[in-house]
Amino acid sequence: MMKENSVSLKTFFDEKVKQYNQPSFIKDDPVCIPHLFTKKSDIEIAGLFAAVFAWGNRTTIINKSKELMKLMGDAPHDFCLNHSDKDLQSLVQFKHRTFNTSDLLYFIEFLKYHYTHHKSLEDAFLKIPAGYAEENRIEQVLIHFHNYFFSLEHVPNRTKKHIATPYKDSTCKRLNMYLRWMVRKDKHGVDFGIWKKIKPSDLICPIDLHVARVAKHFNLLHRKQIDWQAAVELTNYLRTLDPLDPVKYDFALFGLGVIEKY
């Protein structure tokens, strides 16, 4: 399909954002998991698990995330900081696709370590090396987060596949989605906007096969491989539609791809 002129395309996508960026969107999306909570640290932890689990059937993702929250007493921050060995035993049977008990126990170990030293998980994404290029900010943010996340002793090697990094050319779809939840804020209430040190304009659009298919349908994406560079290419186009909030168009691309089956 030939790209429509930018004015009509922006109008079309803006309408799709309005259609899907609504409170009614929440209940059928993994973002409903952090919406179960009001405490900032609970929102952060619940959101991280929901995002990490977010591949495959959305109903299964939501149900497994709720199952884990229940195992944590519906108080994930308190559980991560104050669990006993007996509490951890209750998690032994938990599994979601390839995410198993050893992965879960390491995640909890990391979260305990981090929240012992910091009030917010946002701090885990902020230590960026000097001299980075501003346009590559989120790339550096995600590389740092991956390195920091796996900086504790005795990291199960298998667990590293659950936290993606641009260093390995991953799209980092789930982490970019998580950052959208935490950073974006508007009046519609889907995204939380509880992190203030990363700008919405810096975010990278989550991309998977569905989003890539829609982007190529509208001639927004030319790269054949669905990798980190494809996510950057798509986001750079979305910035021409809205330089301050390009990732709001994730609602449009996701809705068109998954719900409307473009």
- What pLDDT, on a 0 to 100 scale, did the predictor assign at position 85? 93
Positive/negative CA dihedral, 24, 7, 247, 65: positive
Instruction: Name which of 56-60, 74-78, 226-230 the model is least confident about.
Output: 56-60
Question: What is the distance between the alpha carbons of residues 262 and 3, in angstroms, rounded to a whole number?
Answer: 15
Domain membership of residue 175 (yes or no) is yes
> pLDDT exceeding 90 applies to what percent of the chain?
90
Calculate the alpha carbon distances from 51 to 16, 33, 141 in Å: 23, 9, 17
Domain membership of residue 1 (yes or no) is no
> pLDDT exceeding 70 applies to what percent of the chain?
94
Average pLDDT over residues 82-87: 95
Nearest to 84 by CA among 95, 94, 73: 73
Nearest to 177 by CA among 101, 107, 253, 256: 253
**Could you tell me how many residues make up the chain?**
262
Of the chain, the end-to-end C-alpha distance in Å amounts to 12
Residue 4: pLDDT over 90: no
- What pLDDT, on a 0 to 100 scale, did the predictor assign at position 262? 84
Number of H helices, E strands in the chain: 11, 0
241 contacts: CB under 8 Å, gap ≥ 6:
6, 9, 10, 13, 14, 249
Structurally, how many domains does the chain consist of?
1
SS3 110: helix
Q: The whole model's pTM is what?
A: 0.95
SS3 192: coil
pLDDT band at residue 3 under the 50/70/90 scheme = very low
Domain membership of residue 233 (yes or no) is yes
Domain housing 223: 6-259
Q: Which residues pair with 99 in a beta bridge?
A: 96
The DSSP call for residue 166 is G
* Higher pLDDT, residue 1 or 76: 76
Question: What is the distance between the alpha carbons of residues 206 and 256, in angstroms, rounded to a whole number?
Answer: 14
